[in-house]
Amino acid sequence: MAIRPILIKRPPDAVWAVLRDGRRYAEWVVGTAESVPLDADWPEVGSAIRYTVKVGPRRLSGRTVVRDHEPGRRLELEARSRLVGTARIGIEVRPWGEYSLVTIDEHPLTGPGGRLHNVASDFLLQLRHRLMLRRLAHVVESSRAAAPSGD
């Protein structure tokens, strides 16, 4: 299991403004070239987004479904890919003073990713999460809607 936190210098509602927008996942999820909500009620439980990954000249698509959602606090996703199987991705957002402590917790569930899961794959997930959380912080902190009054 790969768990990684980051402190984002904006309040939790600014983080949730980005997480609620299924079109913005490609801005911060490493490897994703495009994300499109498949349901108007994203991120309600059962709603999904389609994502596209570019591998050289090829474009591969997958689907991410919301499995649990506590608005403003927690989002649990199941990412599905024909190549690697499924993975559980938990995103928790907690107030940390005037900022947000965001934690990503991911582990493979099925398919080759689940069968081959080991310490080395967790290490690679940690590297991916480090970059992904930095990107999320940048998207949230640079968003005009995210800026608190007085900034």
For residues 26 and 99, what is the distance between their CA atoms, to the nearest angstrom?
A: 23
**Average pLDDT of 30-50?**
94
- pLDDT at res. 114: 62
- pLDDT at res. 151: 42
Architecture in CATH for domain 2-144: 2-Layer Sandwich (3.30)
For residues 10 and 143, what is the distance between their CA atoms, to the nearest angstrom?
A: 10
For residues 54 and 50, what is the distance between their CA atoms, to the nearest angstrom?
A: 13
**Average pLDDT of 32-57?**
92
- pLDDT at res. 149: 44
Residues 6+ apart with CB under 8 A from 132: 28, 29, 30, 104
What tens digit of pLDDT does each residue of 63-83 get?
999 999 999 999 999 999 877
What tens digit of pLDDT does each residue of 9-21 get?
999 999 999 999 9
User: Residue 47 carries which DSSP code?
Assistant: -
Where does the pLDDT of residue 150 fall: very low under 50, low under 70, confident under 90, or very high at 90 and above?
very low
Where does the pLDDT of residue 115 fall: very low under 50, low under 70, confident under 90, or very high at 90 and above?
low
